[in-house]
């Protein structure tokens, strides 16, 4: 017994160091898994508040760019509305409460207050949280493409698992043909991602457009992603496909958070199916 | 003594704010963020009881991690350099014992301070990037990032040390 006490006393600093080091490394390993570290993440009052204040100053530099982007999107949406009016015959219009019966997704706006793109596991922080009706696993996108998936939430802030994160795997498809693939990131260039699991029958060409596949409950179908930059074929299979994003991941301002209204129902259904 | 504690607390909070508001947004060449906050490890008074420095450095790293969503990489690295600080200093100064009451890091010869800061900064960045990449096949990226980041950290830390000592 005396020996044990002596041992502890002799190495007390080393043991204390070891204990704290194990805690730190376990947080790191937790952070490398799909779910952001539950303890040390920036979705809280303190770091969220400070990032928000810093962003208030930083966003002035990008205002012109963000305005242009929003104007373009407005024009795009107005064009779609204009098309609708042309094709529908006024005598045949049926009034349907589309909001109640057909709306599948709800969009909330938010601002990115902290943006990471230089690490291997990147996260963004946005200025909306539980108070604004967000939950985890919601899609985040802007008019130019997908950005990430919400993970940790506090009352007023949320961390977003960026598509620039080794754990992010997003179902995408080609806009010209119904072939699906998975979008991943190898940690190199922050505007170039990799497409895997695409069948050779897809017969892609440089410049082909990719959109979200709509196979998950997170992103609706048809959000733009990027274009094929280059690809290699090996043994009659795609060995690597590089995708150039439409978005510039280093400068992201206003975003939309997409919540699937039927998500709970779909997930319950899937769960009950797998349980049987 | 009381004044000293207050000074250290202000220094602690000030370094965190400086790191998360300005230095983490530097992004030189796209990815270099100097880790000036290790200045705390260098300046924190040398005492016989090493529990406070270990604890505060762990806390410092963890708060930085919280702001940058990096799990516990900064905490692990800062804690490690806080632990090796005293043995390393003894090795560099070639002394077996240090008189803690009168010892002042800023009064040491410049070259010894430089090598002390350089080793700590390099080890710190190396641990951060190793834990972040966590793969042996990424060793070239880890070393490249460690080298560039630690150079900027060393320059900034030495510069701040000179500024801090000149004021007094």
ipTM: 0.88
In whole angstroms, give the CA distance from residue A260 to residue A103.
9
- The whole-number pLDDT of residue B168 equals 53
- Per CB distance under 8 Å, which residues of A are interface residues toward B? 12-14, 16-17, 20-21, 23-32, 36-37, 40-42, 44, 46-47, 50-51, 53-54, 58, 114, 116, 118-121, 123, 125, 159, 187, 190, 250
* Cβ contact A42:A156 at 8 Å: no
Element spanning B152, H or E: helix B139-167
From chain A, pick out residues whose CB is under 8 angstroms from the CB of B83. Answer: 13-14, 17
Query: What's the sign of the alpha-carbon dihedral A125, A128, A131, A136?
Result: negative
Helix B110-133 and helix B139-167, axial crossing angle in degrees, nearest 10:
140
Band (pLDDT 50/70/90 cuts) for residue B153 is very high
**Tokens standing for B152?**
């900027």
- Does B137 touch chain A if contact means CB atoms closer than 8 Å? no
Torsional class of A211: left (φ above 0), alpha (ψ -120 to 50), beta (otherwise): beta
pLDDT over 80 (residue B157): yes
* Cβ contact B84:B108 at 8 Å: no
In whole angstroms, give the CA distance from residue A185 to residue A192.
8
Q: How many residues does chain A have?
A: 276
User: In B, residues 52-91, which contact A (CB 8 Å cutoff)?
Assistant: 54-55, 58, 61-62, 65-73, 75-76, 79-80, 83
Please provide the average confidence, as pLDDT, over all residues in chain B. 88
In whole angstroms, give the CA distance from residue A177 to residue B126.
46
pLDDT over 90 (residue B143): yes
* Cβ contact A228:A243 at 8 Å: yes
Nearest by CB: A24 against B55, B67, B72: B72
Mean per-residue pLDDT, B78-93? 92
In whole angstroms, give the CA distance from residue B133 to residue B119.
21
pLDDT over 70 (residue B58): yes
**Tokens standing for A230?**
């280059």
Question: How far lies B67's CA from each of A44, A154, B61, B115, in Å?
Answer: 9, 14, 10, 30
- The whole-number pLDDT of residue B88 equals 92
Nearest by CB: A119 against B58, B72, B132: B132
From chain B, pick out residues whose CB is under 8 angstroms from the CB of A47. Answer: 20, 66-67
- Does B132 touch chain A if contact means CB atoms closer than 8 Å? yes
Of A199, A209, A252, A251, the closest CA to residue A229 belongs to A209
- Does B72 sit within 8 Å of A27, measured CB to CB? yes
- The whole-number pLDDT of residue A245 equals 92
Mean pLDDT by 10 residues, chain A (276 residues): 84 91 89 70 82 86 86 85 60 54 80 88 91 90 90 90 90 88 88 90 89 85 90 87 90 88 85 80
**Tokens standing for A245?**
């994003």
* Cβ contact B38:B84 at 8 Å: no
Mean per-residue pLDDT, B100-124? 88
- The whole-number pLDDT of residue B123 equals 96
From chain A, pick out residues whose CB is under 8 angstroms from the CB of B70. Answer: 28, 31, 40, 119, 121
């Amino acid at each position: 017994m005396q020996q044990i006490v002596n041992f502890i006393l002799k190495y007390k600093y080393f043991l204390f160091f070891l204990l704290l080091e194990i805690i730190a490394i376990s947080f790191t390993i937790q952070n490398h898994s799909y779910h952001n570290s539950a303890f040390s993440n920036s979705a809280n009052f303190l770091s969220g508040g400070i990032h928000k204040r810093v962003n208030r100053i930083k966003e002035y530099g990008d205002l012109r760019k963000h305005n242009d982007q929003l104007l373009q999107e407005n024009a795009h949406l107005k064009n779609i509305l204009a098309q609708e009016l042309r094709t529908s015959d006024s005598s045949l219009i049926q009034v349907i409460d589309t909001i109640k019966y057909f709306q599948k997704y709800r969009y909330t706006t938010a601002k990115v207050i902290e943006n990471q793109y230089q690490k291997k596991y990147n996260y963004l922080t946005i200025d909306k949280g539980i108070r604004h009706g967000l939950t985890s696993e919601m899609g985040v996108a802007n008019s130019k493409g997908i950005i990430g998936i919400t993970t940790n939430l506090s009352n007023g802030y949320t961390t977003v698992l960026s598509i620039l994160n080794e754990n992010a795997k997003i179902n995408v498809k080609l806009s010209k043909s119904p072939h699906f693939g998975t979008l991943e990131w190898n940690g190199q260039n922050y505007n170039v991602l990799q497409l895997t699991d695409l069948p050779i029958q897809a017969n892609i060409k440089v410049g082909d457009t990719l959109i979200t596949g709509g196979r998950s409950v997170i992103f609706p179908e048809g959000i733009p992603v990027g274009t094929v930059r280059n690809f290699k074929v090996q043994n009659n299979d795609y060995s690597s496909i590089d995708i150039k994003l439409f978005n510039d991941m280093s400068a992201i301002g206003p975003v939309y958070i997409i919540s699937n209204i039927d998500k709970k129902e779909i997930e319950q259904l899937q769960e009950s199916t797998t349980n049987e | 003594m009381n004044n000293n504690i207050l000074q250290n607390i202000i220094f602690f909070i000030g370094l965190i704010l400086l790191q998360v508001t300005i230095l983490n947004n530097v992004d030189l060449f796209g990815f270099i963020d100097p880790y000036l906050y290790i200045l705390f490890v260098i300046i924190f008074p040398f005492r016989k009881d090493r529990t406070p420095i270990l604890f505060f450095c762990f806390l410092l790293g963890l708060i930085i991690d919280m702001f940058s969503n990096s799990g516990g990489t900064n905490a692990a690295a800062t804690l490690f350099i806080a632990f090796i600080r005293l043995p390393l200093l003894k090795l560099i100064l070639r002394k077996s014992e240090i008189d803690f009451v009168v010892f002042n890091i800023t009064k040491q010869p410049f070259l010894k301070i430089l090598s002390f800061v350089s080793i700590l900064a390099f080890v710190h960045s190396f641990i951060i990037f190793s834990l972040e990449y966590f793969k042996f096949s990424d060793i070239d990226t880890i070393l490249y990032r460690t080298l560039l980041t630690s150079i900027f950290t060393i320059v900034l830390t030495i510069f701040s040390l000179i500024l801090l000592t000149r004021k007094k």
